[in-house]
Structure formats: structure tokens, C-alpha cells
């Protein structure tokens, strides 16, 4: 403990302070700061008033005659606009024989559309200062545009071409297919990428969509063709299975006019209901070792099938995970990083999807401490079930989540990411108005209940990507389950 009284120091006349309020730089303060003479209590954190009420931008909606739903979030602070077309065309729709088709189709949208060639699209987007992206997750495909307001109209022309009139020329399909094959070769060099792919494959298996690699395999990539891409596009890229989210310096009326002109002619079409997929029954706790000779660290992933976005336990799980591995002061990070120094960071996450997504705890740890790290991981993962969370820890986690919300809505891109989640999972558009209340209602008993229900150490899949010759004996000595050998794709190594 330190006190400021008794210190006999002169005024600090040398710290320079700059302040800015909502974008206007104040005249820089005089560099000479005079002391007020008031002593500071260095032993006690200052008291401060309660936080201001959360102010969220409102979501307005409209529907075009072809069934395309628009959600508009007006944010007028900076003249930029973020547009996201969210489509029910995610990788969960990949045919079992062709993983990677949804992400490849999203990539192909930009490789020629309307009268524009692939390079024209890239050139035009850059010329407009626009970021144009098209990608797919398991649950959705998203075509997005982030652009200065004054270039919005030509950028929307480009966006409309990409979404409505992709060419899928044979030559471009071949070009992107070969690029993807080369990128897949490089995956095997990256232990973190290996851990992600192998973990999903091991937890879900190949018969569940979440078990297949988003960008496909070497074999599936070789089978990508114009016909398969065009067929996937025809079956899923429809206005009745899409929603548009516009965030930024626009009004609803303006958006309605601009998008009616560009997306009003988008033809409706039948989009098949996505089949349910059951997760495989959990196996007894097993360690899956992916050998990476010479690796300086072991990349660890521990988990199993978790919960869907629609789980009624969502808010309790947010609190639980913040305590366990969702913040710097979380238990996993404090233990493995701040107490033991085994890692640069340890985390955990419930990835919630349309279907039950994985729960995963993860870190990259120094090779020599792989076994010790597993001990600490398992200790924390068991303790959160066995003991109720103390009140101060619970309060800290709830405050961290609820008082951190304004930052999630500060920029157009960040706000779009939060609102996008509502569109993908069909949640009510006023969802965030009640978010803090739902978090604040979580009790220590709730946290323990959901920990016991959704974290199951007896059925952990423990994936370790590291130097087998250095780590195998130590892991075996833990007696936390059999060790089996897998490759990058999570498949058995004989």
C-alpha cells in the first residue's frame, strides 16, 4: 500500500494533455499544469456516479414488394454507411460431398458480375473507397459494403451486380479453385488453423455440417465447378431468404428509394427449409494429438457440443463464460497466464449457432508445460461446476458485459455486427433494449446450474497440436483419457 501523504514532491509541470470531444479537437491545454494542492488517496479507488442509461440506435424496418426485408439503423455522426445483405446461404447448406461450396459461391460473386469482370469489380470498389466483402459462415452468407456516404450510390450499383448478376464464368471458377487449393496446402503449416479444423471435425464428425471445414478439403475443392456454384446460388440467393441491414448516415426513406431501384427486381424463388442435424453422442474424454514436430508451443482446444443461439440459458452462459474465459481477468487467463506464465492468453467460448455450436476452451502454451497446462485447464473447468461463483466475481462479470455494451454500438461496423446477429437468428429487433436486464438477472445459482448442464468434463474432446515427441509422455501420465492420433482434418492417423 502506498500513500501520497508525506510525499514531498514538486508539481509535475510536464505532462501534456490532449482532449477531444465528439470529434472537435480542443485548443491544446497549456503544458504547464498547476497543482490543486488536494492530496489524492492512493489506497482507495475513486468513487464515481452511476453509469448513464444505455442509448441504443433504433432499428427501422421496411419490406420491398419482392419480399426483401430492410432493417435501417440511422447513425449520423460520421458520413459512412455499412450495408450487409444477409442470406440464408451458409455452409450448413453445403452438400455432404462438397464442403466449401457455400464459401466458394460467396467468393465467386465478386469474380465477374453484370458487365464487370473480376478485376473491374476490385478496381471499382477501391476507386469508391469501398470495402466490398462476400463470405459465408455456417449459418449465413453475407455480402457487405462499407463506404463513404458520398459514394453510396455507385457502390450500391456494384453491390447489386455482385448479388443479383454474378457471372460464374468457367475461367474464373477455375482460377479461384486453384487459388483455394494452394491456400489449403498452406493450412498444414499453421498450428492454430489446424487446431480449429481438427477440433470441429472431432467434435461433430463429417455427417454434421459444423464438423466440415468451412473452406472445404483438398478433395472437395478439386470438385468445385461452375454448375455446382450456379446451382447453389439459384437455390439460395433469393430476396425471400435474405435481409438487408443498413447502418450509418442514411434515412429509412432514402434507403427504401435506393434499394427499390437496385434490388426491387430480384426474383423470388423457393428456398428449401434447412434440415435439422443431430450432434453425435458425446464420447468419453479423449486426448486427440496432432503431431507438429518442432513446434515451440502446443495449441490446445478443449470442449464438446454446446448450445444453439436459441438456448434459454443464453444470458447465464454469457455471464458464466465471462467469468471462466471471456475477459482478461477470467479464471483461465488469470491461472494459465498471470499465475503460471504458461501462455500469452487463455480463453473460452460458447459459439452459438442455428444448431448447437461448440463450447471450447483454448490456449497456445509452451511445449514443456503442455501437461501442466492441461491440469490447470481441467481444474478450472471442474471448479466452475463444483463451487458457486463468489458475489464480487459475479458482479464484475455482469458489469463488464452490460457496461461494455455502448462500445459495441459505437461504430457503424460494430453496430452492424451486433444487429446482424438478430437477423441471422430471427431474434426481435429490440433485443438489446432488454439485454442488460437479462444479464443483471443472472444469479450465482444460475451460473452453477448452466455450468453443470453445459460443461461436461467427462466428455471433453481434448485436441492438442504440438510436438508429439516432447509432449506425449506427460499427457499420458495425467491419466485423463486415452490418446489417439489425428491429422489436420481430424481424421485418424494409423
Partner 1 sequence: MPTGDFDRLLEAAGGDNNGSTTEDRTNYYEDAPSNALALPLWLDSDRMGFLLPEITAEKVDLQRGVVQNERRQSYENRPYGLAEENILQRLYPPDHPYHWPVIGSMADLSAATLEDVRGFFRTYYTPNNATLAIAGDITPRATRQLVERYFGDIPRGPTVTRPTPPAVQLGADVYATIEDRVQVPRVYDAWHSVKAFADGDATLDVLANVLAGGRSSRLYKRLVYELQIATDVVAFQDGGRIDGKFELWATARPGHDLTELARVIDEEVRKVAQAGPTPREVERAQNSFEAQFLSRMERVGGFGGKADQLNFYNYFVGTPDYFEKDLDRYRKVTAADVQQAARGYLVDAHRVVLSVVPQGKPELAVKQ
Bridge partner list, 107: none
- The CB-of-370 to partner 1 minimum distance in angstroms stands at 12
Residue 300 vs 305, nearer CB to partner 1: 300
Strands of 343-350's sheet, edge to edge? 343-350, 358-366, 297-305, 461-466, 286-291, 483-485
- The CB-of-115 to partner 1 minimum distance in angstroms stands at 17
Concatenating the DSSP letter of every residue in 297-308 gives: EEEEEEEEE--B
- The CB-of-112 to partner 1 minimum distance in angstroms stands at 12
Bridge partner list, 126: none
- The CB-of-49 to partner 1 minimum distance in angstroms stands at 5
Provide the b/e sequence for 428-445 (b: ≥16 CB within 10 Å): eeebbeebbeebeebeee
**Half-sphere exposure for 233 (CA within 13 Å, toward CB):** 21
**Half-sphere exposure for 8 (CA within 13 Å, toward CB):** 0
- The CB-of-238 to partner 1 minimum distance in angstroms stands at 27
Provide the Cα torsion 113, 114, 118, 121; round to 10°.
-100
Concatenating the DSSP letter of every residue in 281-296 gives: PPPPPEEEEEE-TT-S
Residue 105 vs 111, nearer CB to partner 1: 111
Task: Choose among 24, 419, 89: nearest CA to 274.
Answer: 89
Residue 70 vs 121, nearer CB to partner 1: 121
Residue 413 vs 457, nearer CB to partner 1: 413
- The CB-of-476 to partner 1 minimum distance in angstroms stands at 23
- The CB-of-10 to partner 1 minimum distance in angstroms stands at 7
Residue 97 vs 218, nearer CB to partner 1: 218
C-alpha cell at position 178: 486453384
Structural contact between residues 243 and 72, judged by C-beta atoms closer than 8 angstroms: no
If you search the block for the grid coordinates 442488460, which residue do you land on? 436
How far out from the chain centre does Cα 18 lie?
Answer: 34
Residue 92 vs 463, nearer CB to partner 1: 463
- The CB-of-188 to partner 1 minimum distance in angstroms stands at 7
Contacts of residues 148-153 at CB distance under 8 Å and 24 or more positions apart, as own/partner, are 148/79, 148/80, 148/81, 149/79, 149/80, 149/81, 149/248, 149/249, 149/250, 150/79, 152/81, 152/250, 152/258, 153/258
If you search the block for the grid coordinates 500500500, which residue do you land on? 1
Residue 125 vs 241, nearer CB to partner 1: 125
Residue 46 vs 312, nearer CB to partner 1: 46
- The CB-of-205 to partner 1 minimum distance in angstroms stands at 27
Distance CA 236, CA 217 (A): 22
Residue 78 vs 272, nearer CB to partner 1: 78
- The CB-of-322 to partner 1 minimum distance in angstroms stands at 9
Residue 151 vs 304, nearer CB to partner 1: 151
Amino acid at each position: 500500500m502506498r500513500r501520497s501523504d508525506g510525499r514531498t514532491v514538486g508539481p509535475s509541470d510536464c505532462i501534456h494533455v490532449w482532449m477531444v470531444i465528439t470529434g472537435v479537437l480542443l485548443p491544446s491545454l497549456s503544458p504547464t499544469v498547476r497543482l490543486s494542492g488536494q492530496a489524492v488517496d492512493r489506497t482507495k479507488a475513486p468513487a464515481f456516479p452511476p453509469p448513464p442509461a444505455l442509448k441504443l440506435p433504433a432499428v427501422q424496418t421496411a419490406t420491398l414488394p419482392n419480399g426483401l426485408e430492410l432493417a435501417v439503423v440511422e447513425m449520423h455522426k460520421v458520413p459512412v454507411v455499412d450495408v450487409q445483405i444477409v442470406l440464408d446461404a451458409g455452409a450448413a447448406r453445403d452438400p455432404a460431398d462438397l464442403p466449401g461450396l457455400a464459401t466458394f459461391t460467396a467468393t465467386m460473386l465478386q469474380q465477374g458480375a453484370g458487365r464487370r469482370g473480376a478485376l473491374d469489380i476490385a478496381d471499382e470498389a477501391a476507386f469508391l473507397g469501398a470495402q466490398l466483402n462476400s463470405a459465408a459462415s455456417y449459418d449465413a452468407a453475407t455480402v457487405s459494403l462499407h463506404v463513404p456516404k458520398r459514394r453510396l450510390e455507385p457502390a450500391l450499383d456494384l453491390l447489386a451486380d455482385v448479388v443479383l448478376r454474378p457471372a460464374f464464368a468457367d475461367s474464373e471458377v477455375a482460377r479461384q479453385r486453384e487459388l483455394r487449393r494452394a491456400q489449403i496446402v498452406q493450412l498444414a503449416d499453421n498450428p492454430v488453423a489446424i487446431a480449429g479444423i481438427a477440433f470441429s471435425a472431432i467434435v461433430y464428425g463429417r455427417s454434421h455440417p459444423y464438423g466440415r471445414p468451412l473452406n472445404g478439403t483438398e478433395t472437395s475443392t478439386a470438385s468445385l465447378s461452375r454448375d455446382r456454384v450456379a446451382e447453389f446460388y439459384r437455390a439460395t440467393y433469393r430476396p425471400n431468404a435474405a435481409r438487408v441491414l443498413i447502418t450509418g448516415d442514411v434515412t429509412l426513406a432514402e434507403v427504401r428509394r435506393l434499394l427499390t431501384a437496385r434490388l426491387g427486381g430480384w426474383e423470388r424463388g423457393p428456398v428449401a427449409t434447412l434440415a435439422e442435424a443431430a450432434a453425435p453422442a458425446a464420447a468419453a474424454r479423449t486426448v486427440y494429438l496432432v503431431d507438429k514436430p518442432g513446434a515451440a508451443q502446443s495449441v490446445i482446444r478443449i470442449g464438446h457440443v454446446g448450445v444453439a443461439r436459441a438456448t434459454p440459458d443464453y444470458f447465464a452462459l454469457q455471464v458464466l463464460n465471462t467469468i471462466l474465459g471471456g475477459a482478461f481477468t477470467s479464471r483461465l487467463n488469470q491461472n494459465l497466464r498471470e499465475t503460471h506464465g504458461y501462455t500469452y492468453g487463455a480463453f473460452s467460448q460458447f459459439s452459438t449457432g442455428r444448431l448447437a455450436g461448440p463450447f471450447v476452451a483454448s490456449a497456445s502454451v509452451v511445449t514443456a508445460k503442455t501437461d501442466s497446462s492441461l491440469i490447470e485447464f481441467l481444474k478450472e473447468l471442474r471448479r466452475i461446476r463444483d463451487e458457486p461463483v463468489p458475489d464480487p466475481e459475479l458482479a464484475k462479470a455482469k458489469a463488464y458485459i452490460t457496461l461494455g455494451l455502448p462500445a459495441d454500438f459505437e461504430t457503424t461496423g460494430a453496430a452492424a455486427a451486433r444487429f446482424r446477429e438478430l437477423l441471422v437468428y430471427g431474434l426481435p429487433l429490440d433485443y438489446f433494449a432488454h439485454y442488460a436486464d437479462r444479464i443483471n438477472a443472472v444469479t450465482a445459482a444460475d451460473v452453477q446450474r448452466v455450468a453443470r448442464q453445459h460443461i461436461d468434463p467427462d466428455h471433453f474432446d481434448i485436441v492438442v497440436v504440438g510436438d508429439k515427441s516432447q509432449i506425449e509422455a506427460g499427457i499420458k501420465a495425467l491419466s485423463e483419457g486415452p490418446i489417439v492420433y489425428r491429422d489436420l482434418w481430424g481424421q485418424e492417423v494409423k
